[in-house]
Structure 1
Amino acid sequence: MPLYFLNLFNFLVADVRDGLGPFLGVFLQQNHWQVNKIGFVMTLAGLTSIIITTPVSMLIDHIRYKKNIGIIATISIIIGCYFIYHYPNLPMTIISQMLIAIAGATLISATVSITMGLVGPDLFDKQIGYNESFNHAGNACAALIAGIASYYFGLKAIFILMSCSAFLAITALALIPSRQIDNKIARGLNVNQTSPQPFFKLLKNKKLFILAVTIGLFHLANAAMLPLLSQSMVAKNIINKPGSYTAMTIIIAQTTMIPMAIFAAFFAKRHEYRILLILALVALPARGLLIGTIQHPLVLLPAEILDGVGAGLIGVAIPGIVAKIMQGSGRFNTGLGIIFTCQGLCASCSHYLAGTIAKYHGYDQAFLTLSLIALCALVFWLVFTKDVSFG
């Protein structure tokens, strides 16, 4: 029964965790924001997430009330979105996005920790695959509803949908019995261990460093692609319903991620995580190349299928690899926080980098640049993990 509520929570919180996500760029664009300012706000939000992610992850390793952290984070995201909608000026949008970034990073780490505490390391690979599948299914359903609602009622419908999803997600999380979350296992300690590994030892972990650089490059290339796709179609006057188009990009990607996440969970049981990550890294440069060279709204179909393949695989691979690296250290969430810090740093820079290139050199050049960065991530992983096992 606890796993039922965990799966339900992952399904419902999918519409809440990233705030407005790709809809933010279109919403601000409709409020007469320039593309470089949109990228600037997203970058500041990402930098805020970077500062807070590792400390919050360390806190989650120690604190027993992980459900409460998840509930507070969910409420904070809704509050941030409320202020963006009613006061879409630069100062308020910056503050709200920073709040959403902090809460989003906290929510991700808390969810993974709760999962480990409920199922333990032996079933973690399988359950994290289910977590991602339900999360992607929730994203797809929410995007479908948001696309239809925004077509008839505008982007304000998205805010109403998010508020309803948040209330139901909090209810599902509250129904998970706290006593069934083993806090010792949730932080990566073995049964016979009583104290965690010193923090400085994590900074000397070669496997963690290789993973951090690879994931950083991946998100430097990936983060801006989805919001920039909708913005480019609006700027070129190729589409006239940006809310519905943005929803379609999400639906295609998230629907693809559902089987990919399940596949990744079972693949990881039989093969090395190294190979799983290679498959994810191959999809990203191909996606950017497609978007940057084909001038047609239907390019979203193959492009977002590739997005689903890459993100679906990597969403399972990251916590799975970190769980194996950190097993017995008592620093599972801290290690995951370090990876998320690198991810957040590069993702935030992605928006500003892509936005600046798009303003001065065009959207196509921005997509091609992101593809080149994605290729660098693949090459780095292939070279530096040739003789390293990740389980």
Structure 2
Amino acid sequence: MTTDSPELRRSLWALDGVNFFLADVQAGLGPFLGVYLINKETWNPANIGLILTLGGAVGLLLNAPAGALIDATKYKRALLAGAAALTSFGTFIVTLKPTFAVVTAAQLLTGIAGVVLGPVIAAIALGMVGPKRYAAQTGRMQAFNHAGNVVGSAVAGLAGYLISLRMGFWLASLFGIFVVLSTLLIKPNLINHDVARGMKPKDDADDGDDKPSGFRVLLRNRPLLILAAVVGLWQLANGAMLPITGQKLAVGDANDGALYQAALIIVAQVVMIPMAMLVARRGDRWGRKPLMVLAFAVLPVRGVLFILAQYPGEVIAVQALDGIGAGLQGALFAIMVADLTRGSGRYNIAFGAATMVQGIGGALSPTLAGAIDAAAGYGAAMWALTGIAVVALILLVLAVPETRASSDEPPETSDVAPEPTAVG
């Protein structure tokens, strides 16, 4: 049994800091942006849905190329720091003057940065700990990310209630500096760039010719394509539930709306922390699919309860279910893509492409729900999202296989995996 070196432990803690502070930077995006705009002149649910869609849409054509870049480059820390800085800047400029042009520019900037952030953090983690420890590390990172979301949402909500919503955006932007500093504390020589792209470690390779597979191997990977499509459908159902609910509570009073939105986010993020830890501790023993089915099953229940809820307190209580669904799905998706591409050397481009498909659902969700909300009301929009969630659950159960390899199951006597080989 071996333990991590002090240098690796410090770098892993720095990566935890990246996930924590990055969540603070991103806390103002999406739901808080909708609350900020809902009582502004010329902004209504349909317009807000369209503008939120733009941020996700910009990445649809860039996800796969960004993944290919991450596969190829050894400057992963620079990509991470640059994308975090761009997100911070986009979060700041949205407060300068909330015109359609300015908000569109901000969403485009943060959308471009978002294309890089998820895959490059996943690649750095995989390159540092290796595939056998990746599930545990992903759960740990997600736990820190959710903790950061709790802090960021509390800061944005309290600032919006006590001072102004703009102050919340400014503070969120300030956290971008801490993301860059945390990134610089990660030792670059600890990132094995071959392992980070999904190739086998040298000592696990069947022979000395361990090279990346051709791109066509991804198109022939039917389980990967099905997984991406099903999760994309889940995102179509899930993406707009929180924003339109927050906008409903915010109509007529942006300050109270900011406080309600903060409560909606915080209650979910608090529940997401133990869910991420569950994936870290049990994802290898129990398998990926049972936990993913649970994540999908709670979404239609949440949609129905949102429709039935009459008071802000009830709505906030229902939002706790998002902690179960999004908490599990967020951690499991990257792990399952890594499972399905192990040994191909194409993990990051596969993750980027799968994220693109997932992002299509997330990007279309606010526009779909906003249009239905504007035409037929909040209840109709939520019923539509709930129906999509039911379809996604059925397809997951019937079409998506278990992805965990038998070799991933840890021995009963030890939870400690070997330390990865450091490669410059």
Return the TM-score normalized by structure 1.
0.96
1:252 corresponds, among 253, 258, 267, to 267
The yes-or-no answer on 1:30 pairing with 2:45 is: no
Q: Distance in 2 between matches of 1:142 and 1:78?
A: 13
Structure 1: stretches of 5+ with no match in the other structure: none
Q: Distance in 1 between matches of 2:89 and 2:113?
A: 11
Pairwise CA distance, 1:258: 0.2
The yes-or-no answer on 1:307 pairing with 2:322 is: yes
Q: Distance in 2 between matches of 1:146 and 1:20?
A: 10
| Secondary structure of the structure 2 residue equivalent to 1:329 | coil
Give, as a single letter, the amino acid of the residue that structure 1 aligns with 2:354.
I
Deviations 1:212-234 (A, max 9, x none): 11101110000111111111123
Q: Distance in 2 between matches of 1:19 and 1:246?
A: 10
Deviations 1:77-111 (A, max 9, x none): 12222221112111221122011011012111111
Give, as a single letter, the amino acid of the residue that structure 2 aligns with 1:303.
V
Q: Distance in 2 between matches of 1:260 and 1:54?
A: 29
Q: Distance in 1 between matches of 2:255 and 2:283?
A: 43
Give, as a single letter, the amino acid of the residue that structure 1 aligns with 2:333.
I
Give, as a single letter, the amino acid of the residue that structure 2 aligns with 1:175.
L
Q: Distance in 1 between matches of 2:39 and 2:29?
A: 14
Aligned partners of 1:17 and 1:74 also within 8 Å: no
What's the counterpart of residue 350 of structure 1? 365
Aligned partners of 2:25 and 2:174 also within 8 Å: no
Aligned partners of 1:19 and 1:77 also within 8 Å: no
Return the TM-score normalized by structure 2.
0.89
What's the counterpart of residue 11 of structure 1? 20
The yes-or-no answer on 1:112 pairing with 2:117 is: no
1:364 corresponds, among 379, 383, 392, to 379
The yes-or-no answer on 1:214 pairing with 2:214 is: no
Q: Distance in 1 between matches of 2:232 and 2:296?
A: 12
CA pair 98-18 structure 1, distance change in 2 beyond 3 A: farther
Aligned partners of 1:292 and 1:365 also within 8 Å: no
Aligned length: 388
Alignment of 1:1-391 (within 5 A): 1-17=10-26, 20-32=29-41, 33-190=43-200, 191=202, 192=205, 193-235=209-251, 241-385=256-400, 388-391=401-404
Structure 1 window deviating more from structure 2 (56-65 vs 20-29): it is 20-29
Pairwise CA distance, 1:194: 3.7
Structure 1 window deviating more from structure 2 (218-227 vs 95-104): it is 95-104
Give, as a single letter, the amino acid of the residue that structure 2 aligns with 1:20.
L
Deviations 1:308-337 (A, max 9, x none): 000110111101111111110001111111
Structure 1 runs of 4+ with >4 Å offset: 237-240
Aligned partners of 1:238 and 1:297 also within 8 Å: no
Aligned partners of 1:139 and 1:251 also within 8 Å: yes
Give, as a single letter, the amino acid of the residue that structure 1 aligns with 2:29.
L
Structure 1 window deviating more from structure 2 (117-126 vs 30-39): it is 30-39
Aligned partners of 1:239 and 1:297 also within 8 Å: no
Pairwise CA distance, 1:239: 8.6
CA pair 355-127 structure 1, distance change in 2 beyond 3 A: same
CA pair 16-324 structure 1, distance change in 2 beyond 3 A: same
Q: Distance in 1 between matches of 2:210 and 2:25?
A: 36
* Structure (1 or 2) with the greater helix fraction: 1
Deviations 1:282-318 (A, max 9, x none): 0111111111222211123332111000011011110
Q: Distance in 2 between matches of 1:206 and 1:66?
A: 29
| Larger-gyration structure (1/2) | 2
Q: Distance in 1 between matches of 2:337 and 2:276?
A: 17
Structure 2: stretches of 5+ with no match in the other structure: 1-9, 405-424
Give, as a single letter, the amino acid of the residue that structure 1 aligns with 2:94.
I
Q: Distance in 2 between matches of 1:380 and 1:113?
A: 29
Deviations 1:128-180 (A, max 9, x none): 00000000001001111222222111101212211221111110111101111
Identity %: 36
